[in-house]
Structures are given as structure tokens and as C-alpha cells.
Structure 1
Amino acid sequence: MRWTRRTRLAGLLGLTMLLAATACGSDDTAPPDRNGDLAQPTPVVEGYDPPQHFHQSSAIALPEAAAHLSGGGWYASDTGKPAVTLLGIHAYVAVPDGLHIVDVITGETIDVIEPEQRPLRTSENTRIVGNSAHPPLVTDVGGAQAVLVPFLAEITGQGTAASRDVIEVVAVSTENQEVLWRHLIETADCGGMSAYDCDMTVVGASDGVAVLGVADDNGTPLASYGIDVAGPTTKWELDDFAATMVTGELTVGALSSGFLESYTVAYETSNGTEQRWIDDDDTYALSMQPAGPHWVLTTSPYGANDRIRLIDPQTGEPVPTEVDGLSAGMRCEYDGSSVVVCFTTDDGLSTATAVAFDAQSAEVLWSLPDENGGRVAPTVRSAWHGLVYGETSNGPVILDARSGRDAVLDPGIAPRVVNEYVGVALADSGGLLAYRTRG
């Protein structure tokens, strides 16, 4: 409230009232908003880019189901990436039957977006089979930023109409958290008893087309769909193809050629029909993943075609230089800046390994363990803006992404998802917590 001094006081009563009002008022009182109510002051939230330490007190709990990481198949795991996307002070947390939007500063759940159709997988089952969801994709929808998340659901039958299995894709505005649209895709691959064996990921988007890839829990390609986000409409469908990444104008993934045999192939994202390139050497038990924005890591760990390759998704050609240290079972993290680190975890049976390379050139920057230097590899949890977050038997540690040297020895946690405001990590109790960053 703004106070103005009167230059003339009309009698003792007026003076008394003014003094009383002054005694009760405050210079810090917020001005009224347009509706006449007192506007609440906006809290100042300090961020650190990249963060090097995390507060251990007052952590914010995220939905429990998100902490039950999927290990692939019918079990939960303590490795992997939680289905959490951080945007500023908001966490978008995907579980099989909802998208939770959480303010990571206050802990307030802003909204829970549920599928309109009956979900075939529920949060109650994640403790046993893991959370089948993946981090929501951030993309542009009609000029507005949105997150896309798919749900496996069923349209309940009525009368003589049988029930139908669908994938319900939902777009949610990141500005006001409102649902922009819902889109249904008929599926014959993922319903019934196979509901928990179906892996669905919105892998990327380009020029207004978002790509949904679907595979079974063994990685066998089932189908992929191109969704025109302006419609929304299903622009194209490819059977037996599981998209892995969208890069430039191309969608890259695995095309099934028989039982556990696949080709690496790329299609035009805009139409899904024009094939740009294909690796004619079919591969047994092929697995693929993005290794930063410019490379794809493909592995085939069994049989005569045993190989591990880093390929250019634009051409299908392998990296021109040798990348030593890559092995089957590795996962890769891109720091969003210039470094990719691929790693295996310490599962108690073998030691962790890690190799980092330049995201543009694929030049190897460092690798661990280093027996000569007396250094072990951390179990890498995430990488962001020049830092690699991991842990060893000595506790959490942060490495410089380009040099591999220890940068911080006591960060507090090893976050699996991180931005300038919070780091998200598994709690000892099994939950998922968001810890505030500090300098």
C-alpha cells in the first residue's frame, strides 16, 4: 500500500486515525493488484549453472513411482534415468498413469495430468516392474513450448463395440501447465498381457513433427509414428521400426528384419516414407541410443556380427577416428554443451568404466579406470554444462567433463537429473528427491 502524507490535519481525531494507521502499516506492504487484492511478493530463487553442491536439508519429494526405475523387462532397477524433465523451477515427472508437475522450490504439486482413457499400466505396479515412462520431450507446439508424454490406455467397449488399445499422447504447455491437445493412436502391439513389455518414447521432433518410437522390453522394434503437432494428426506410421532419435531432418532407429535381427536405418522425419540410408548388414540383438546430438551408439553384443559402433546419423557412416573404450551395455550422457560420456555402472560383478569424447568431433578426451594413475571410474549419473556427476565407493564426486579430473569431492549427492536449481537423486529410503543447488 502506498502512503502519502497529508499537509493539513483536520482535528485531533484525524491525527489519531492517521497515527494509528501509520503504526499498523509497513513500507514493505505489497501494492494491490488489479483486482484489489494484495499481490504476493515473488520469491528470489538463486540458481547455479552448473551446480557444484546440493543442500542436504529440505529436499522436495517427487512422486514415488518415478523412483522405481525400469531395468528392462519385469523388474525394477536402481540404475537408469528417472522419467523427469526439469525446466526452470518445474519438474515434469512421468509415471504410467499421469504427468506430475511439481514446483521444486516449494514442493507444491501444480497439477497431475492423467490420460482421459483408462490406463493399462498404473503407478501401483512400478515397485515390481519399474516405471515404464521416459522423460517428457520438450518441443514447440504452435509457437508455444510444451512437453509431450505418451500413455498406454484402453478405450472401453460399449454394446457390441469391443475395447481398443491406444497410445494417448498429451501435449502440456510449460507456460500455464494447461493441456494443449490429446491425440489417440491405435495400437495392436502393446495391449493386453503385453502392456508391461511395451516401451514407448517420444524421441524427438523436427519441423512440427514429433516422433514416437515403440519397442518391446527386449528392444525388438514394433512401430513408430510421426505426429503433426499442429493438428494433432498421425502423419505417418512405420511398422517394425523403433525410432531412437530425431536429428536434423532425419529419424534414426532400428528396422526389424526377423527374430532379434535388425538394421540401422534413417527416414525423413517429415513423411516417414523416404529412406535416406540403411546399414545392409543386419545385426543380432541390435541396441541403439543417441550419443549426443551428432552421433548414435549401436551395439550388437552377440553372434558373428559382434560389434560396437559410433555412427553419423546423417549418413550412417562410422566415426572416422577410433573411439577406444566403448563396450556393450554402455549408456551415454550428453552434457548439453560439448561432451558426451558413455559408461557402464558398477553392479558388484564388474567395475565401472567411462569414456568421454568431444560431441562434435568424437575425439576421445579421457577414459577411466586408469590403473597407472591409480584412479577408478565413477558410476556416472548425469552430465550437465561441463560437469559429470557420479559416485564411487568414496561417495559422490563431480568430474570436469573435458579433462576428467576430479572437480568437486563433496557435492552432497550424485544427481541423475540436474539443472541450475535442483539435482534429482534417489534417496536411501527408495524415494526420489529434488535437492536445491548451492555454490
Structure 2
Amino acid sequence: MALHKQTAYVALPDRVLAVDTANGAARTAVTAEAEPLTKLTPNLENGLPAPFITDGESPLVLTTFFVHQPGVGTRAPRVFLEFTAIPTAAGAAPWRVPLELPEWTKESRSPVASSVVGVSGKVAVFTLSPTQSTFSSAATTYAVDLDSHRVLWTKDLFRAASVTGGIVTGEKWDKTDSDYSAVAGYDLATAAEKWRAEDRINLQVTPAGPHLILATAKNKSDFRIQYRQFLDPATGTVKRDLSDDLPGSDCAHDGASTIVCAGRGFESYVWAVDDTSGAVRWQLPDKNAGRIAPQVTAVWHGRIYGKTADGPLALDARTGADLPTRPGIAPYLVNEYTGLALSESDDALTAYPTNG
């Protein structure tokens, strides 16, 4: 799910629900226009990708549906994808862009997922890829103009990970079933290649705020050599090589100037870097100071929410210092109106008002 003001938008295989977090009332914001085809979506224990909510004066809730259209007369049945935009403004009607699925989806040995990667200006980017990394080279990325409701471009063998300014970055293969891939950046408007790094193996590209992306990989000729690097999405320049004592690559931007990353091995790890230079600001655990790392649940507006065995807590994202007022909950989603948290006893989702 995703939050916009007091509304939580929940993605289901055939619809998006809008839940009023003030009273729990739910309504259907949109349904798939054609018959939903759930077998192409991730299995239930993995969940569905959250809707993406755009910024600006007239926000849109973006999602996709896999759908089936039965044959009629001589018209053959077909499976396709509905890229769907839901205006948050009251009374505004949703709109859809139907898209044919690439050939590889018909032969995929893994379930296929679609997720909106990001939006810059009036262009949205989403990607189709298998849910299992074993079949990851079969990926296709699309760019959709949100004003004209048309597809600007499609790129096969490319799994987008981030949209930063006018650049789309992600993982690019040269051929299907290749063991090697490279981080690459493409022009948002034209899909022209701007830069491409060297081929590596086991590559993962993840967003890291408005100015960086995070790439982790192994050297293709010597698997003992591992890379964990923050890159400039505009040029591919390495801004920071990460040391082994900064494990984990689950990173989120705090909405100010800090990227907060978390990982877990024998214990939890949390560390933070400057969102432009990649310079490390702090890390936990800090044995010299007698401090442990919490399990991070959310990062928002310069604050980290999380929990330890002693209960919920909040940290200053820039300094890592414990904040004096304990939040009472460890929200998984939070904004200036609402915090959404799971209860420890039965995983029930509860909404709590926030103080702005």
C-alpha cells in the first residue's frame, strides 16, 4: 500500500482500494477493466507492488493490472497489461493505457511482476520482470507520458530501478539468459543510452535518494571480488565505494539530505550517508558507545522509526542520535497525517494520527 494524506491506497490483483485512515472506511478506487489474470502476478506471500503516488498539485496513483480479454467471433483472446492512473482529486476519472505483453512473458518459468519505478516531470517509468532472480534477464521497461496517455518508448532486456531527473537507471543485458549485466543510464524522454558501466555478475541496482543509486555486484572473472558502490545516475561515476562493515542494501531517503540503509546478519545494522557525496555520517551498532542497531521500519522527514527488544524508538536520520520522545509505535508507512503499524500479537494493521 501507499499513503497520500489520510488515504491508504491498497493494491490487489483486480483493483485498488482507497482506505480512509481516520475511520477505516474503504472504497474501490478503480478496478481492472478487463478480466484480471492473477497467475502472472506475484504469489500472495510475496504480495503485490505498492501503487506509486506522484508529486505535484494534481497527484496520481499509478498501478498496473494483468488482464485477459476473451475471444469474440474471429477475434482471438489475448492477455495484456493495463497501466492505470487514478487521480486523487475527488470526482476525477481514472484512465488506462493498454499494453501488449512482450513475448518472453508467455514462456517465463517464473511469475511475472510489474511495478512503477518512478516519475519525473510528466513521464512515468514501469518495468516488467520475473519475480525470481534466476530468470532476471527477461525484463522490459516502459515510459508513459502522463499528459498524452501514450507510451513514449519500450526497452527490452532492461530492468529500470530508479528515475532521477531526466535519467532512468537500471540493469541492462546484451542478450536473453546472459550471465552478465551492467548498470546503465538512459534518457527519460528518448531512451538514448547516456552511459553504461562494465559487465558484472549478480548485479542489483536500487534507488538511493534523488542524487545517487546503489549498485552491488561481483566481478565476472573473479567472484571473490565484490562491489558495493554509490553511483551518480547522470554519469555513472562512482561516488563512494562501501566498506564491508556497512552491510545491507535496503536504503531509503529521509526526505531531507540523508540516505538510511539497513541490513541484517547475526545482528541488525543501520548506517547513513550524505545523499549527494555518499560520505558516511554514522553507523550502528557502536560497541564503544554501547549502542545496538534497531530494526528499521520507516524513514521520513529526517526521522528513522524502528524497534528493538525494548520497544519502538526514533532516531535522528542525520546524526543517528536517539530522539527524546519515543513514538509509541514503529510505523511501516508514515506521513504528516497518519502512521500505519502492525500489532505484535496478530499482525493487525492499525492507523495512528501523527503530529505533522
Q: TM-score, normalised by structure 1?
A: 0.73
Is 1:313 aligned with 2:233?
A: yes
CA offset digits 1:56-105 (Å, max 9, x no partner): xxxxxxxxxxxxxxxxxxxxxxxxxxxx2222112222222221111111
Partner of 1:423: 339
Distance 1:305 1:223, change over 3 A: farther
Partner of 1:291: 208
Distance 1:251 1:343, change over 3 A: same
Distance 2:143 2:153 in 1: 5
Sequence identity (%): 33
Distance 2:104 2:33 in 1: 18
Partner of 2:45: 129
Partner of 2:148: 231
Distance 1:200 1:421 in 2: 29
Distance 2:104 2:187 in 1: 25
Shift of 1:408: 4.4
Which segments of 5 or more consecutive residues in structure 2 lack a partner in the other structure? none
Distance 1:390 1:260, change over 3 A: farther
> What does 1:195-274 correspond to in 2, within 5 Å?
197-219=111-133, 220-221=136-137, 222-257=139-174, 258-272=177-191, 274=192
Distance 2:252 2:114 in 1: 20
CA offset digits 1:143-167 (Å, max 9, x no partner): 7321211112222223443332212
Distance 1:139 1:197 in 2: 31
Count of residues in Structure 1 that have an aligned counterpart in Structure 2:
346
Distance 1:195 1:134 in 2: 24
Let me know the Cα RMSD of the aligned residues.
2.5
Shift of 1:392: 1.4
Shift of 1:328: 5.9
Partner of 2:5: 88
Distance 1:244 1:390 in 2: 25
Relative contact order (C-alpha < 8 Å, sep 6+): which is higher? 1
Structure number with greater Rg is 1
Distance 1:328 1:169, change over 3 A: farther
Alignment check: 8 A CA contact 1:96 1:131 kept: no
Which 10-residue stretch deviates more, 161-170 or 131-140?
Answer: 131-140
Distance 2:247 2:200 in 1: 14
1:429 corresponds to which letter in structure 2? D
Distance 1:306 1:361, change over 3 A: closer
Shift of 1:430: 2.6
Distance 1:429 1:194 in 2: 36
Alignment check: 8 A CA contact 1:214 1:243 kept: no
Distance 2:290 2:247 in 1: 24
Q: TM-score, normalised by structure 2?
A: 0.89
Work out which of the residue numbers 411, 414, 426 in structure 1 matches 2:327: 411
Distance 1:189 1:218, change over 3 A: farther
Partner of 2:20: 103
2:54 alignment partner, SS class: strand
CA offset digits 1:310-336 (Å, max 9, x no partner): 1010110111x5544675642001111
1:371 corresponds to which letter in structure 2? K
Distance 1:434 1:189, change over 3 A: farther
